[in-house]
């Protein structure tokens, strides 16, 4: 049950802000108000308010000011009562892009941010995309590049890492950003680089983020730099590094409410790493702290973290059947509109590991294959290597089986063999009766799976395995 929060109805003095279809009835200056009827000296003390303002018959309210105030009120409510309570205050905001006016953009930005926090990835992406499409408008700039930061997070979590990188790059080029937006964007770039296996670029981006965050008296960027540190550590398989980076978010952040509202993006990794370090009790304590928002029962991503934690705990205790059940429950919570492919891939590794432990080799193979496919499509080289290592540990391959046979699909082996014969992509496409685009896709997959970066390297590998000395 959610903590009781402010009523989602219109605040006092703001009745009728939206019409029956959610559009604003009034966006211009306020109507005329009568001038004070009493003597001039009955007003504020001299000098407190300029005489001209004290006698003015009009109060000018900039268009959209009340919507902006409602947006900030919704965000403040979410900090204390969870994202669902904040979303309640924005219930009258239109869903249709054609009915979104410029004055609605601050509220639309906040709704997108809160939907992201509430595990509504698809809806959050739609909202924030609408805002960034109008990034040059005055209303869109009210919250700086916040929409871009959170849209990049949506793409990162949703598995579209190329779009995430483009959004980060565009936002970094935007001169309208606030001083604390840049550290967040550089941190996101660091995470993307780390997940793709480019450790040097990840370190450079993180260094820039920390440099920009250092002089600020606002602690918000601490969350982003901590996440970047943690994800670099996770990509290396360094669970202790993940704990060191994220523990302060769970325990002693000066902005705990802000950190808690985005817990779905870091809590699963913290829970996994704490259990891996033998600190399951601390993981449970972090989960209990987050339950104080009242949103844990309705937020699928927090429930994923809970099921993952229970699964890791059961696995550590040798209760593999129970662990498999918890991991399967977690995967089931990552449904359409809220899927996080990277986390699903890690859960598939876990399912493969415990399936192998209880003798279900066929299921283990299927789970490992699923994880490899997810990581290959993401371009997540470090996690693909982790998956292979787990597979080898659970079911060591025969020493006389070439890598090309058990790491690649049948079609990928055909493409690799023809590369070994020196064929161009066009020649391979003609040989296999496929398009060049399809060949390029298979070739990228081969490079990722084999940890290669060049065609020459692949050709040498194929020839060493005996696949490049035959005929077409």
pTM over 0.75: no
Alpha helices in 160-238 (DSSP H): 161-172, 181-195, 199-213, 220-235
Question: Could you give the 3-state DSSP secondary structure of residue 165?
Answer: helix
Rounded CA separation 171/141 (Å): 12
Classify the C-alpha dihedral 358-361-367-368 as positive or negative. positive
Note whether 93 and 108 are within 8 A (CB).
Answer: yes
pLDDT value at residue 241: 93
Query: In whole angstroms, how far apart are CA 25 and each of 152, 155, 293, 310?
Result: 33, 34, 34, 51
Banded pLDDT at 282 (limits 50, 70, 90)? confident
How confident is the model over 209-227, as pLDDT tens digits? 999 988 887 667 888 898 9
pLDDT value at residue 58: 56
User: Which 3-state string (H, E, C) describes 391-428?
Assistant: HHHHCCCCCCCCHHHHHCCHHHHHHHHHHHCCCCHHHH
pLDDT value at residue 24: 37
Arithmetic mean of pLDDT, 259-287: 79
Say whether pLDDT at 11 is over 80: no
Question: Which residue did the predictor score with more confidence, 281 or 200?
Answer: 200
**What secondary structure letter does DSSP report for 337?**
T
Query: In whole angstroms, how far apart are CA 156 and each of 161, 189, 302, 356, 388?
Result: 5, 10, 18, 31, 23
Closest listed residue to residue 344, CA positions, set 317, 316, 307: 307
pLDDT value at residue 111: 94
The answer for residues whose C-beta is within 8 angstroms of residue 198's C-beta and 6 or more apart is: none
Banded pLDDT at 134 (limits 50, 70, 90)? confident
CA angle 288, 294, 300 (to 5 degrees): 85
Which range, 69-73, 145-149, 164-168, 358-362, has the best average confidence (pLDDT)? 164-168
Say whether pLDDT at 74 is over 80: yes
pLDDT value at residue 430: 87
Query: In whole angstroms, how far apart are CA 18 and each of 9, 14, 91, 103, 256?
Result: 11, 9, 10, 12, 33
Q: Please tell me the number of Cα atoms within 13 Å of 271 on its side-chain side.
A: 29
Say whether pLDDT at 251 is over 80: no
Average pLDDT, the chain: 78
Query: What are 108's two structure tokens?
Result: 């639309």
Question: Which residue did the predictor score with more confidence, 213 or 344?
Answer: 344
CB-based burial of residue 356 (10 Å sphere; 0-12 exposed, 13-18 middle, 19+ buried)? buried
pLDDT value at residue 275: 85
Rounded CA separation 205/258 (Å): 23
Residue ranges of domains in the chain, CATH in brackets: 60-171 (1.25.40), 403-464 (1.10.10.10)
Closest listed residue to residue 88, CA positions, set 382, 306, 294: 294
Banded pLDDT at 10 (limits 50, 70, 90)? very low
User: Which 3-state string (H, E, C) describes 36-49?
Assistant: CCCCHHHCCCCCCC
């Amino acid at each position: 049950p959610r903590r009781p929060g402010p009523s989602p109805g219109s605040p006092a003095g703001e009745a009728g802000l939206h019409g029956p279809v959610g559009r604003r009835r009034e966006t211009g200056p306020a109507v005329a108000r009568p001038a004070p009827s009493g003597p001039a000296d009955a007003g504020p003390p001299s000098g407190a308010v300029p005489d001209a303002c004290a006698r003015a018959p009009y109060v000018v309210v900039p268009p959209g000011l009340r919507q902006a105030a409602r947006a900030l009120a919704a965000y403040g409510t979410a900090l204390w009562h969870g994202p669902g309570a904040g979303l309640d205050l924005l219930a009258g905001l239109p869903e249709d892009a054609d009915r979104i006016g410029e004055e609605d953009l601050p509220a639309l930005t906040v709704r997108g941010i809160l939907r992201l926090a509430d595990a509504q990835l698809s809806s959050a992406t739609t909202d924030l995309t609408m805002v960034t499409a109008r990034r040059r408008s005055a209303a869109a700039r009210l919250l700086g590049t916040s929409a871009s930061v959170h849209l990049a997070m949506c793409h990162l979590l949703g598995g579209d890492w190329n779009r995430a990188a483009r959004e980060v790059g565009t936002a970094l080029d935007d001169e309208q950003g606030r001083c604390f937006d840049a550290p967040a964007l550089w941190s996101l770039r660091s995470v993307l680089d780390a997940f793709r296996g480019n450790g040097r670029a990840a370190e450079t981006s993180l260094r820039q983020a920390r440099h920009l965050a250092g002089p600020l008296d606002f602690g918000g960027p601490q969350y982003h730099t901590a996440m970047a540190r943690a994800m670099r550590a996770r990509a290396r398989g360094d669970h202790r590094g993940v704990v060191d980076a994220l523990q302060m978010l769970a325990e002693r952040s000066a902005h705990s409410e802000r950190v808690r509202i985005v817990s779905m993006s870091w809590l699963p990794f913290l829970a996994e790493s704490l259990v891996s370090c033998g600190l399951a009790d601390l993981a449970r304590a972090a989960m209990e702290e987050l339950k104080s928002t009242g949103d844990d029962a309705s937020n699928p991503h927090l429930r994923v973290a809970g099921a993952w934690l229970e699964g890791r705990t059961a696995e550590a205790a040798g209760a593999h059947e129970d662990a498999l059940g918890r991991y399967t429950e977690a995967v089931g919570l990552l449904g359409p509109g809220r899927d996080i492919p990277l986390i699903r891939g890690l859960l598939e590794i876990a399912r493969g590991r415990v399936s192998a432990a209880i003798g279900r080799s066929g299921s283990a193979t299927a789970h490992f294959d699923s994880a490899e496919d997810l990581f290959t499509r993401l371009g997540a080289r470090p996690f693909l290597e982790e998956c292979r290592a787990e597979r080898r540990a659970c079911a060591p391959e025969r020493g006389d089986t070439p890598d090309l046979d058990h790491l690649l699909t049948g079609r990928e082996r055909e493409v690799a063999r023809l590369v070994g014969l020196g064929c161009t992509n066009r020649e391979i496409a003609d040989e296999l009766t496929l398009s060049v685009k399809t060949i390029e896709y298979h070739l990228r997959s081969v490079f990722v799976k084999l940890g290669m970066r060049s065609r020459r390297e692949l050709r040498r590998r194929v020839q060493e395995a005996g696949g490049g000395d035959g005929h077409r």
